[in-house]
Structure 1
Amino acid sequence: MSKQVVVVGGGVIGLLTAFNLAASVGQVVVCDQGEVGRESSWAGGGIVSPLYPWRYSPAVTALAHWSQDFYPQLGEHLFATTGIDPQVHTTGLYWLDLDDEAEALAWAERERRPLSAVDISAAYDAVPVLGPGFKRAIYMAGVANVRNPRLVKSLKAALLALPNVSLREHCQVTGFRHEGERVTGVQTADGVIDADEVVLSAGAWSGDLLRTLGLELPVEPVKGQMILFKCAEGFLPSMVLAKGRYAIPRRDGHILVGSTLEHAGYDKTPTEQALESLKASAVELLPELAEATVVGHWAGLRPGSPEGIPYIGPVPGHDGLWLNCGHYRNGLVLAPASCQLFVDLLTGAEPIIDPAPYAPVGRLG
């Protein structure tokens, strides 16, 4: 297929879309308004699971399961081809004192996922640094986290090595070019880039761009703040989650604690209020963090969408325009499946899962 495809947005969804497309189309151009991967893909925690997977629809579950199974080989492939290890780190995850524990266990049995109730003493044995007072725990083995800034760097390096892919950073797309009802390119500050197909994967900015066509895409920025501690390697052997806050261990001893959920438009300013709230949650989960130094505090913008169900497929009434966006809190979780499904649809291949729940038709205003 000798088409030129323009991907608007260079987060993990846009980069992996381009990476998967490169084997099937003539040319791929990725445009990002800043540096690729520096928005929510860089800011998130990288847990390769929805925080509460049983609270999501089957549409999100289907993408999550496919992606979770695929992530280890994606990490290995990128490391082998680029020398940059995304560090897919399998630690398992403990949920503590859940209100809906029964629903979680019923979901696990129904979906055949390795999640089960464990005695709280077993959780304290496995995670000795856990704070006191927790009464109940459930645990899912096999849950990994990916070091998302390294994943983005690895994807960027992989794309730069491909002869038919070009990355255009600091290239803001302001609109779409049409011939009749067909989209034939994008308008940027540097001029028009022609395309046979255009893919909108612009994260929290996707709704603004689609509005230039008079279409209402219910994707909006939702701010999240995170903090990072440096501890000894092995300090935290497993991910832990309680009261909506989580702690994620990296292989080198860094501990990531997050996150807030704020509707603050496009403001990404870290706040003192969030810092203190996250510190308090960190110390409640892991009291020894009271003595640890916060080595990072930042904010990012998630692409909020109804029920967190992404939009994957062609835009009705605008031939040549496609969506792969609106992943809300689960862009990193769902990326492998979303991007493979997207490429299946664009190239006419057999889709890996039923694409109907993600189709833009009927979901745009």
Structure 2
Amino acid sequence: MQEIIIVGGGIMGCLTALNLLEAGIRVTLLERQRAGREASWAGGGIVSPLYPWRYGKPVQVLASWSQGYYPRLAEELKQQTGIDPEVSSCGLMWLDHAEQEQALAWAASQAQPLRRVDSSFIYRQVPELAPGYQSALWQDDLANVRNPRLMAALLKRLNADPNFSLVEQCPADELIITGGRVGGVRGGGRSFHAEKVVIAAGAWSGEWLGTLGYELPVQPVKGQMQLYRCMPGWLPSMVLFEGRYAIPRRDGHVLIGSTLEHTGFDASTTVEAFASLRQSALQLLPGLAAQQPVGQWAGLRPGSPDGVPFIGEVPGLSGLWLNAGHYRNGLVLAPASCRLVADLISGRQPAIDPAPYAPALRLGSIA
């Protein structure tokens, strides 16, 4: 049986592992801290790019495939683990958006059920919104996934497989390279051997490739979030205004996000972000003024040019693969991205054209 090591225990690493296991491949997953506790846990879980019409075809293809697959994935995980990832198709509303014509033209070209709605529809759909919104874009089939539950379900499913090994608190230090071919990873004072290695280390992926002489333009971009506890159904749909959003969970919790901060690998929360997110929360939903947030946290997104991920084998170093650089859309693009890399590794016919994501065409060299 073929053996593969995956570096990184977020959504990309875990879902890649599941796809490989289902292809009959043994997997060892190395995680520097605890699996599923970085950006995959911290994000909002909207199963759509925030502004899908701004992205090129490579991101749109991955997003469309993943959106269609998420309900099936959630149901399978629920049946297998008893943990419901809570994929909720509650719809998304873009309020008073200046790009309505561009968005509607994109929707028509992609056969997306996005439409313009007026103020009467806005307040029938989301009565708790602040007054004054006149027009919006609305797509009723867009969903969000409760990403901490998704990660918990994935890890439970993986750990039940006899061909899967999870090694946490194990920073991967270096690749084992023999004769120009990758044969494993050293980390935590141990050596792990396998035919192939997949780097799915999120914001840390760029550093990994840098040690090998490649310029992978993936940088950490911090995002901070705020959480409120409301009654179930208080916010019936997701709403987005001027880059900030509110996301309802089935139990009534409401997420407000998020910041975009270029602060390196600093994942601490700040009082400045607390005030900014609080202001956004009240601007959208003034009813939240009666309560204080019950949580605030931060995660590091893997920022990349145009948000197009790197998926495929690294040129010039046989056995080294990438699934990294998804920026703000990691949860959105994960099912398609992980299916693609597993198809390529296992030799199956790819479900998605791999060419736009191929590292061989996009990696630079460090002089």
Which TM bucket (shorter chain)?
A: over 0.9
Work out whether 1:342 is the aligned partner of 2:349: no
CA contact (8 A) 1:309 1:358 kept: yes
1:132 equivalenced with 2:117 (yes/no): no
Distance 2:102 2:22 in 1: 42
CA drift at 1:23: 2.0
Indicate conservation of the 8 Å contact 1:302/1:329, yes or no: yes
Q: Distance in 1 between matches of 2:314 and 2:292?
A: 48
Summarize deviations over 1:146-170 as a string: whole Å, max 9, x none.
0000000000000000000000011
Q: Does 2:189 match 1:187? A: no
Match of 1:30 in 2: 29
Q: Which residue of 1 aligns with 2:224?
A: 225
Partners of 2:158 and 2:143 lie apart in 1 by 24
CA distance in 2, matches of 1:93, 1:283: 18
* Closer/same/farther in 2, CA of residues 26 and 106 from structure 1, 3 Å limit: closer
- Report the CA distance between 1:362 and its aligned residue: 2.3
Q: TM-score, normalised by structure 1?
A: 0.99
Per the alignment, residue 282 of structure 1 pairs with: 281
Q: How does 1:296-311 map to 2 (within 5 A)?
A: 296-311=295-310
Residue 244 of structure 1 aligns with an amino acid whose one-letter code is G
Within a 5 Å distance, the mapping from 1:1-365 to structure 2 comes to: 2-365=1-364
What SS does the aligned partner of 1:247 have?
strand
Q: CA deviation at 1:363?
A: 1.1
How many angstroms apart in 1 are the aligned matches of 2:334 and 2:190? 30
Contact 1:4–1:25 (8 Å) recurs in 2: no
Report the alpha carbon displacement of residue 292 of structure 1 after superposing the two structures with TM: 2.1
8 A Cα contact 1:231 1:292, kept in partner? no
The alignment partner of 2:262 has SS state of coil
Q: CA deviation at 1:305?
A: 0.4
State the one-letter code of the partner of 1:258. G
Tell me the alpha carbon deviations over residues 195-254 of structure 1, each in whole angstroms, 9 at most, x when there is no partner: 101000000000111111111110000000000000011100000000100000000000
Give the secondary-structure state (helix, strand or coil) at the position aligned to 2:214. coil
Shift of residue 114, structure 1, vs aligned partner:
0.8
Give % identity.
57
Shift of 1:44: 0.2
1:347 deviates by: 1.1
Q: Is the 8 A contact 1:5 1:25 kept in 2?
A: no
Distance apart, 1:264 and its partner CA: 0.2
Counterpart-to-counterpart distance in 1, 2:140 and 2:106: 15
Q: What code does the residue aligned with 1:43 have?
A: A
CA shift, 1:293, in A, is 2.4
C-alpha distance after superposition, 1:10-66 (max 9, x if no partner): 001100000110022441000000000100000000000000000001000000000
Normalised by the length of structure 2, the TM-score is: 0.98
SS of aligned partner of 2:287: helix
Distance 2:142 2:291 in 1: 26
Ranges in structure 2 where 5+ consecutive residues have no aligned partner: none
- Report the Cα distance in structure 2 between the residues aligned to 1:118 and 1:324, rounded to whole angstroms: 38
* Aligned partner of residue 50 in structure 1, secondary structure: coil
Instruction: Give CA deviations for 1:291-350 in whole Å, capped at 9, x if unaligned.
Output: 122010011100000000000000000000000011000000000000011111111111
Quote the Cα distance in structure 1 between the aligned partners of 2:361 and 2:242: 36
Counterpart-to-counterpart distance in 2, 1:49 and 1:120: 24
Aligned residues: 364
State how far apart, in whole Å, the 2-side matches of 1:201 and 1:103 are: 34
Counterpart residue type for residue 19 of structure 2 = N
- Classify the secondary structure of the residue corresponding to 1:13: helix
Q: Which amino acid letter does the alignment assign opposite residue 230 of structure 1?
A: R
Could you tell me which amino acid in structure 1 is paired with residue 46 of structure 2?
I
**In 1: Cα distance, 2:153 partner to 2:94 partner:** 31
Unaligned runs of 5+ in 1: none
- In 2, Cα distance between equivalents of 1:121 and 1:26: 54
**Paired letter, 1:158:** R
Q: What CA distance in whole angstroms lies between the structure 1 residues aligned with 2:78 and 2:91?
A: 22
* C-alpha distance in structure 2 between counterparts of 1:121 and 1:191, whole Å: 63
